[in-house]
Amino acid sequence: MIRVGLIGCGFMGNMHANCYKNIEGVTLAAVADVRRECAEAVAEAGTAIYSDGKDLINNADVDVIDICLPTYLHAEYALLAMERVKYVFVEKPVALTECEAKKMIEKSQSTGCNVQVGQVIRFWDEYVVLRDIVASGKYGRVVNANFRRLSPRPDWGWNNWLLTTSLSGGAAQDLHIHDIDYARSIFGEPKSFATVKNIIGEKNSYVNTVMTYDDFVVGVEGTWDLPGSYPFTATFRVVFENAVVENAGAGFMLYTKDGAEKIEIEKKQLAGGYEGGNISDLGGYYNELVYFTDRVRAGEPIERATLPEATESLALVLKEINYNA
């Protein structure tokens, strides 16, 4: 049985707890939150409850530590967790600054701790299929691509940390990083990029970047500058020489000269059920934690959504934030 210690039981901690409850051979051995009622809400019978992440790190009998704390606390707690266990999961963005992320890489090297970062889009079904289509080359070369992520303002954060740009990095660092990281994972580092951002309103709450590669361009747009009534939207369109693959209003679709067809994906039915969050099922969150716990079980290193990869994605987003047209 893999014994998980979960630190931070807010929005994402809840999601992770639901995932672990649906993975066989995994138990939520300990949870920590400064709001005790949040920790109690995700705890199961027998789960040890701590009122601070450091108490859990120092005292809990766990094999792995999963950090779902506000971004500005990631580095501090991850560095301590890496001293205690051989596997750590830390939510995205990996850290608030590149300097912190680099310290985390150094600590993982000195301790031998395996770290996975919650760059969950790499594990999201439609995006996994897209990655395989791009790699196969079966529709020819990529001509252009577009990724969008549009969200209502996230007003749920503990002490409003999400909407405090100095603590979260704003929509650019918190939301848009998902698509930047994914695009980097399938296309690599762009040759150059250009970014436009909000001129009035909240800093970094709207970002639109065009990345240029050798023979194609990729647009990535993200914002949380939208009212609560606006539906959370994550879409992509990739134009190949001989087809278009799109995940948008019509669903996950393939368009070729022969017509349009739906790309079918088998969605896993979860035994424990799930309701909540801004998604219809546990989707990529479940997939990424299945991968994580599989690696723990096998005693193998983490090879997807690694600390160095997440650090490179963070570095690019920070360059976008500081980009001046």
Q: Which residues bind ligand NAD (CB under 6 A)?
A: 7-13, 32-35, 38, 52-53, 68-71, 73, 91-92, 118, 120, 156-158, 161, 174
User: ∠ at Cα 146 (287, 199), nearest 5°?
Assistant: 110
Q: How far apart are CA 306 and CA 114, in angstroms?
A: 9
**Residue 105 Cβ, how far from ligand NAD at the closest point, in Å?**
18
DSSP letter at 306?
B
List the Cα angle 196/246/234 in 5-degree steps. Answer: 55
Q: Which is nearer to ligand NAD, 38 or 296 (CB)?
A: 38
Beta carbon of residue 186, minimum distance to ligand NAD (angstroms, whole number): 18
Work out how close the CB of 141 gets to ligand NAD at its nearest, in angstroms, rounded to a whole number.
Answer: 30
264-300 burial by CB neighbour count: b if 16+ within 10 A, else e?
eeeeeeeeeebeebeeebbbbbbbbbbbbbebbeeee
Q: Which CB, 73 or 253, lies closer to ligand NAD?
A: 73
CB of 324 to ligand NAD, least distance (A): 26
12 vs 150, beta carbon nearer ligand NAD: 12
Report yes or no: 237 and 145 within 8 Å, Cβ to Cβ.
Answer: yes
Look-up of token digits 């000269």: 257
CA atoms within 13 A on the CB side of 124: 20
In terms of CB distance, is 142 or 305 closer to ligand NAD?
A: 305
Minimum CB distance to ligand NAD smaller for 99 or for 135 = 99
Nearer to ligand NAD, 50 or 206 (CB): 50
Residue type for position 197: K
Closest contact distance (angstroms) between CB of 142 and ligand NAD is 25
Nearer Cβ to ligand NAD (48/142)? 48
CA distances from 86 to 21, 92, 109, 245 (A): 21, 19, 11, 39
CA atoms within 13 A on the CB side of 86: 12
Question: Rounded to whole angstroms, how far apart are CA atoms 31 and 8?
Answer: 8
Q: How far is the CB of 181 from ligand NAD (least distance, A)?
A: 10
Closest CA to 8 of 73, 86, 94, 64: 73
| Nearest residue to the partner ligand NAD, using Cβ | 10
Shortest reach from residue 53's CB to ligand NAD, in Å: 4
Minimum distance, C-beta of residue 69 to ligand NAD, in the bound complex (Å): 5
The pair of three-digit structure tokens given for residue 16, joined into one six-digit string:
């992770």
Least separation in angstroms between residue 299's CB and ligand NAD is 26
CA dist 310 and 234 (Å) reads 20
State which residue, 19 or 238, has the beta carbon closest to ligand NAD: 19
Nearer to ligand NAD, 243 or 304 (CB): 304
Compute the residue count for the chain: 325
